[in-house]
Amino acid sequence: MKITLVVGSRNGQYTFSAHIHELKDSKQFHLDPSSFYLEWGKKVPDVPHHEVEILEPGADFFERHLAHVHKSRITGNLFMCYPLRIETPEKAEELFRTWCLGTVSGIVESVDLNTIFAECESDPEKVEQILQERYGITIIQENPA
C-alpha cells in the first residue's frame, strides 16, 4: 500500500510518500528486532505488524534534516521510527500522517515530534490540531496524482 501526503507550512510545502509493509513473521522485519524494537520499544511486536518505508523525500533530505527514521537491516532504505506494534494498515497510515506533520514541525519550528506527541497524550488527532493551530502546519493534499 502506497500513500503520499503534501504538508503545508509557513515555510512552504513538503511531499512525503511511503509504502506500508505488512509483515507476518519477525524475520521479515526491516527494523531489527533486537537493536530497534527491543531497545526502543522494550519488546518485539507481535505479528501481523506493519512498517512504513519512506519513499519520498530521499536519503539526501534526511542527511540535511534530523528526522525520526531508521535504516532497514535488509535493504538499507529508510523507515519511519515507531518501535511499537502497528496492527493494521489504517493505523500505519495514521501514524505516517503524524510522522509527516511532526517532521515538518521539526524542520520549520524546531519542535520535536516526540514532544508534541507526549503533550497530546499520543493522540494523533490532537497532534494534527495543535500543529495546525500553533504553527500553521497541516496536510493540504492526500495521494496527489
Per-residue pLDDT tens over the stretch 48-90: 999 999 999 988 898 888 789 999 999 999 999 999 999 999 9
Alpha-carbon span 84 to 73, nearest angstrom: 17
Query: Are the C-beta atoms of residues 70 and 99 closer than 8 Å to each other?
Result: no
Percent of the chain with pLDDT over 70: 99
Alpha-carbon span 80 to 97, nearest angstrom: 11
Helix (H, G, I), strand (E, B) or coil at 47: coil
Task: Kindly report, residue by residue over 103-138, the tens digit of the pLDDT.
Answer: 999 999 999 888 988 999 989 999 999 999 999 999
- Tell me which residue has cell 500513500: 3
Band (pLDDT 50/70/90 cuts) for residue 100 is very high
Query: Are the C-beta atoms of residues 137 and 104 closer than 8 Å to each other?
Result: yes
Query: In the prediction, which pLDDT does 63 show?
Result: 85
Band (pLDDT 50/70/90 cuts) for residue 145 is low
Whole-prediction pTM: 0.93
Closest C-alpha to 47, from 79, 80, 71, 22? 22
